Structure 1
Amino acid sequence: MLLPGEIVVDNFAGGGGASTGMEMGLNRHVDVAINHDPPAIDMHKMNHPETKHYCESVWDVDPVEACAGRPVGLAWFSPDCKHFSKAKGGRPVDKNIRGLAWVTIRWAALVPVRILMLENVEEFMSWGPCVEVSPGKFKPCPERSGETFDAFIKVLTTGLNPEHPAWPEIYDALGDHFPYHMIESGLGYEVEFRTLSACDYGAPTTRKRFFMIARNDGAPIQWPEPTHGPEGSGLQPYRTAADIIDWSIPVKSIFGRKRPLAENTMKRIAKGIQKFVVEAENPFVVPEAANIPFITEHANASSQRNMPADEPLRTICAQVKGGHFAVVTSSMIKLRGSNIGHGTDEPVHTISAGGNHIGELRAFLIKYYGTNYGHAMNEPVQTITTKHRFGLVTILGEDYQIVDIGMRMLEPHELFAAQGFPEGYQISHSSTGKKLSKASQVARCGNAVCPPVAQALVEANIGSNQLNEIAA
């Protein structure tokens, strides 16, 4: 637990993922939140009204002024990760953004901070100097990978030799009036770091991130044990995409759209349906209790009819070949890279801030009595007709025919749920009541720390047992 008078600070606070997790772990609000982005700070204010907010660059906030003489029990840092992430590919990086983590050293040197936690992508451990490849454009130097990260750890712990090549970058980041003797002698923290997967702590996403814990109070650093795992692990089962999907949201057929889907998207859909429905030993079937927004009817030689689920059923005919009303399967599609998606009974893949790229596919099926089911499934799906059948699926020993496929992208509230945000977290409107665009909402979500992971780290290191260990 926190010691008397200590405060909690969230640097790079964003929309509030780390703050939410810390609050759940501490059972109290975060005292100070800092972020340069007005929409992010506005969302943070909506959900954390007791916090003092600074809508400024982290470099413009004076730690001494912000703390007002109070010691910091816990300071959280999530510096911008996009110029470390492998998703950046071979594109140039901004060395100033890569150097944002030095603000951690600024806080630790200027005010009493007992525990530091830092979150970033795994590639943060490769932090090293950049080389200029063309005027004003930089790329990480492959021969010196990890050099700056090594210096960062030395500064936090035992000290950095003035001959270390990272010193020019440190001077550039921290400025002329910083107490550099503290860097030479070291800040005296014990430091450990690991990569953790959010799904292991109850978030329904596989998001994997680097976490660092540093403390100077003599108590041991604790890493939380996973609470969730695969079947047979003895842990609670992983939370999955099915847990966060809002089944009441309609899906639009991939066929007959005014603006046809791109060819590559159709190929992804075909491969995903093949893998997760047609060839799956146990395709994920949408729960019977779900409010599916439309029902597919396929009556003998008549045309297929889709109808809303909240309307009375159409006339039920006798002796209809193929049966009437559908079983519905679901799988996930990922519109990025070469990844086709995953099963709905798995955690959602990593959500990024750069646009919504995760969607849901629903295959609508009826009982199947024919023999011809169409073309190869590694080709784009062809137009559905009553005679040309392209997908045969066996579920619990019963054969079903795919008669339609619907696709939609996940909505922001589903993505926030996938990150592990609590139900009711306010994301759709600003503090003035203005409705936020989906892009703005997704940006806050993709940049967020998964609250359950932050909660687990805080509970492990600032629990009631920690006071006893410190006193001993």
Structure 2
Amino acid sequence: MITLTDLFCGAGGSSTGATKIPGVQVRMAANHARKAVNTHQANHPDADHDCADISQVVPTRYPATDILWASPECTNHSRAKGRRRGHGEFNDGLFATDGTDEAAIRSRATMWDVPRFAEAHRYPIIIVENVPDARWWGPDDMPGGTFDAWLAVMRSWGYEHRIIYLDSAHAQAYGPGSRSRRPRMYVKFWLKGHRAPDFEKWLRPYGDCPMHGRLQLIQAWKHTKMSSPDRPWGVYGKSGQYLYRCPRVECRNAIVEPAVRSAAEAIDWSLPAQVIGDRSRALKPNTMRRIREGFDRFARPLLVPTEGREGKTADPADRPLRTVTTRNETGLAVPPYMVELRGGGSSHRSAAAPMSTVTAGGNHHGLVTAPDLLVPYYTNGNAQLAAEPMATVTTVERHSLLVGGRVAAVEECRFRMIEPHEYARAMEFPDDYVFIGETAGKPPTKRQWVEMVGNAVTPNVARDLVAMAVEALTGEAIEPAA
């Protein structure tokens, strides 16, 4: 039996993922929020629980275990807070004279609970979860200085480490990835002299290389101000610091998008959504702007390859036409219009207009429907296709669903907010997971439910990282998912 302590356990995402690995038992779980402890206890009744400010807990109050999972508070490390992350000036070490947010400083200080507990229990393996920006924890004139000091303290207690940057949608080694994006930093520590985890085995998502087909990809870091091959840091994507590539050289290590699951899998399509034009209260201008931008972006004309080799994809018609061959192999899709495929005096018309003459020659009309979109409420957020993973779930309800279908205008689309149970599914909580409010046995408010989900670790990431840890502890191979 491998035992695990879950500090800052929240609603139980990390524990839920850990217990997916045979032989793992959550021995101790602690958090400061009563609703989180109530929820964790309802779903993990065999674990001991403590509702406490962990920074005030004497570590020997809790038993020693084989693995420590710790998720110190991350919101005050994140750039999403929109505030500077410096320490500020203090009088007598208590009060900030420059207006620095003292609660934010105390929040970031929860990172120091990890070496406190490591000193007391010398856990063979420790996994620490936080946002990527925690890498730059420190004063404004020395970004990352405090983080480096934190790592130095852990080294002084005999730990080696590796920093992992991983999006939850790509954690798919021991099962499927999440249906939501969640870029996070994970620091894995193990005692010197013990077997190191096999990082390469567990951290390479699958993707389809145009030349080599389906294979495990390698993480490739860009050369940026904040990251380099010898100092990787950041998040995945076109505007991030790393991508994934094919590991084979014949294709020149082609950039390959990892296979991911869609937000549409987590959405309850049976729930009603109201037609935008029928709403008694109009949506706010910013919301409508995002809807229109998303609609225009994803419902624009497409050039669609109809023949030729595998790997060809549809391109927007406002981009250059792909190489013209001797075969007629490109079709035009123009949503949300009727597309007249042969003859006649016109090529397309609005779906709201009467259909052009139906001839005896067959089906000459194509109807392209508007896409289903997720519309975030972030200030700088953009609409996205429901066929992609959901954007990072926060502690506040900030996603809505735009249901497309056969429409002539944006106002004919149907709109509703994403519900808490849909957020939970996108974050990979089981459908039968029970969420409890501040009072034991009573359900949470919608706000409390979303807050717990938005603060959670996605269970699939904990599943993979704990599987890696168990394999290192026991020396017995665990087979990843095919």
Alignment RMSD (CA, Å):
2.8
User: Which moves more between the two structures, 410-419 or 22-31?
Assistant: 22-31
1:414 aligns with 2:389: no
Structure 1 residue 417, shift from structure 2 partner: 1.0
Q: Mapping of 1:36-435 within 5 angstroms?
A: 36-67=32-63, 71-90=64-83, 92-93=100-101, 94-128=104-138, 141-157=139-155, 186-201=156-171, 202-216=177-191, 218-223=194-199, 224-229=202-207, 234=214, 237-279=259-301, 329-353=371-395, 355-365=396-406, 391=409, 404-427=412-435, 432-435=440-443
Give the residue type in structure 2 aligned to 1:34: A
Normalised to the residue count of structure 2, the TM-score between the two structures is: 0.68
In 1, Cα distance between the equivalents of 2:206 and 2:417? 27
The Cα offsets for residues 63-97 of structure 1, whole Å up to 9 and x where unpaired, read as 22321xxx420001100011100101126542111
User: Is the 8 Å Cα contact of residues 192 and 221 (structure 1) preserved in structure 2?
Assistant: no
Equivalent position SS for 1:30 = strand
Structure 1 residue 461, shift from structure 2 partner: 2.0
Give the residue type in structure 1 aligned to 2:460: P
Structure 1 residue 255, shift from structure 2 partner: 1.9
Match of 1:369 in 2: none
In 2, Cα distance between the equivalents of 1:103 and 1:465? 23
In 1, Cα distance between the equivalents of 2:368 and 2:296? 19
1:463 aligns with 2:468: no
Taking structure 1 as reference, are residues 299 and 127 closer, same or farther at Cα in structure 2, changes over 3 Å only?
closer
Structure 1 residue 218, shift from structure 2 partner: 1.5
In 1, Cα distance between the equivalents of 2:271 and 2:301? 26
Structure 1 residue 466, shift from structure 2 partner: 3.9
Taking structure 1 as reference, are residues 12 and 277 closer, same or farther at Cα in structure 2, changes over 3 Å only?
same
Structure 1 residue 59, shift from structure 2 partner: 2.3
Give the residue type in structure 1 aligned to 2:80: A
In 1, Cα distance between the equivalents of 2:42 and 2:36? 10
Equivalent position SS for 1:220 = coil
Equivalent position SS for 1:113 = coil
Give the residue type in structure 2 aligned to 1:254: I
Structure 1 residue 226, shift from structure 2 partner: 3.1
Equivalent position SS for 1:407 = strand
User: Is the 8 Å Cα contact of residues 35 and 57 (structure 1) preserved in structure 2?
Assistant: yes
User: Is the 8 Å Cα contact of residues 34 and 438 (structure 2) preserved in structure 1?
Assistant: no
Equivalent position SS for 2:29 = strand
Give the residue type in structure 1 aligned to 2:78: S
Structure 1 residue 428, shift from structure 2 partner: 6.4
User: Is the 8 Å Cα contact of residues 200 and 229 (structure 1) preserved in structure 2?
Assistant: no
User: Is the 8 Å Cα contact of residues 413 and 427 (structure 1) preserved in structure 2?
Assistant: no
Give the residue type in structure 2 aligned to 1:358: H
In 2, Cα distance between the equivalents of 1:230 and 1:452? 22
Contiguous gaps of at least 5 residues in structure 1 = 129-140, 158-185, 286-296, 302-322, 367-388, 392-401
Taking structure 1 as reference, are residues 279 and 121 closer, same or farther at Cα in structure 2, changes over 3 Å only?
farther
Taking structure 1 as reference, are residues 31 and 37 closer, same or farther at Cα in structure 2, changes over 3 Å only?
same
In 1, Cα distance between the equivalents of 2:456 and 2:186? 14
Equivalent position SS for 2:188 = strand
Structure 1 residue 257, shift from structure 2 partner: 2.1
Match of 1:183 in 2: none
Give the residue type in structure 2 aligned to 1:234: R
In 1, Cα distance between the equivalents of 2:452 and 2:141? 35
In 1, Cα distance between the equivalents of 2:184 and 2:450? 19
Structure 1 residue 25, shift from structure 2 partner: 2.5
Task: Identify which of 435, 446, 455 aligns with 2:454.
Answer: 446
Contiguous gaps of at least 5 residues in structure 2 = 85-99, 172-176, 216-257, 304-313, 315-332, 336-350, 356-364, 478-482
In 1, Cα distance between the equivalents of 2:281 and 2:461? 41
In 1, Cα distance between the equivalents of 2:302 and 2:461? 32
Give the residue type in structure 1 aligned to 2:105: K
User: Is the 8 Å Cα contact of residues 31 and 51 (structure 2) preserved in structure 1?
Assistant: yes
The Cα offsets for residues 239-277 of structure 1, whole Å up to 9 and x where unpaired, read as 111111110011112223222211111111111111122
Equivalent position SS for 1:59 = helix
User: Is the 8 Å Cα contact of residues 29 and 48 (structure 1) preserved in structure 2?
Assistant: no
Structure 1 residue 280, shift from structure 2 partner: 5.8
User: Is the 8 Å Cα contact of residues 365 and 403 (structure 1) preserved in structure 2?
Assistant: no
Taking structure 1 as reference, are residues 72 and 432 closer, same or farther at Cα in structure 2, changes over 3 Å only?
closer
In 2, Cα distance between the equivalents of 1:107 and 1:11? 10
Equivalent position SS for 1:98 = helix
Taking structure 1 as reference, are residues 203 and 27 closer, same or farther at Cα in structure 2, changes over 3 Å only?
farther
User: Is the 8 Å Cα contact of residues 230 and 238 (structure 1) preserved in structure 2?
Assistant: no
Give the residue type in structure 1 aligned to 2:163: F
In 1, Cα distance between the equivalents of 2:206 and 2:428? 13
Structure 1 residue 230, shift from structure 2 partner: 6.3
Structure 1 residue 112, shift from structure 2 partner: 3.1
Equivalent position SS for 1:100 = helix
Equivalences, count: 354
% identity of equivalent residues: 29
Structure 1 residue 17, shift from structure 2 partner: 0.8
In 2, Cα distance between the equivalents of 1:117 and 1:225? 15
Equivalent position SS for 1:340 = coil
In 2, Cα distance between the equivalents of 1:362 and 1:266? 14
In 1, Cα distance between the equivalents of 2:291 and 2:169? 25
Structure 1 residue 46, shift from structure 2 partner: 1.1
Equivalent position SS for 1:243 = helix
Give the residue type in structure 2 aligned to 1:329: P
Structure 1 residue 438, shift from structure 2 partner: 1.0
In 1, Cα distance between the equivalents of 2:439 and 2:370? 39
Equivalent position SS for 2:49 = strand
Give the residue type in structure 1 aligned to 2:142: R
